[in-house]
Homo-oligomer: A and B are copies of this chain.
Amino acid sequence: MQFLVTMEVTLPPDMPADKRETLVKAEATRARELIEAGLLVNIWRVPGRRANVGIWDASDATSLHAALTSLPMWPWLDAQVTALASHPNAPVPR
């Protein structure tokens, strides 16, 4: 089952540069793992904002929540989740 997830990330403005860099790297690593596990299908930046839009795939909302809280940036994230139903006009998945 797929979900549309829109995240706002609010890192504290006084976070030291090295901590921020470590966090960004850890987030990239965890994102790769979630992609390999099939949980994170795709992700885009919302231009001009500290926000992203993603398509996620999880067995249910509990699994999705677990995936989102596994992100290193979780303490600074707020996500809006929309459950998605299949559409008859969608392309046949490859």
Give residues in A with beta carbon < 8 Å to B: 1-5, 7, 12-13, 27-28, 31-32, 35, 40-50, 52-53, 55, 60-62, 64-65, 68, 75-91
A74 vs chain B, min Cβ distance (A): 9
Across the interface, do B43 and A89 meet the contact criterion of CB distance under 8 Å?
A: yes
A64 with B40: CB separation less than 8 A: no
**B45→A85 contact, CB < 8 A:** yes
Residue in chain B with minimal CB distance to A59: B1
Copies in the complex: 10
Whether A79 contacts B44 by the Cβ 8 Å rule is no
Contacting residues, chain B, for A68 (C-beta < 8 A): 47-48
Cβ contacts under 8 Å, A31 to chain B:
89
**Contact present for B42 and A91 (CB under 8 Å):** yes
Quick check: B28 and A53 within 8 Å, CB to CB? no
Complex contacts, A89 vs chain B, CB 8 Å? 27-28, 31-32, 43
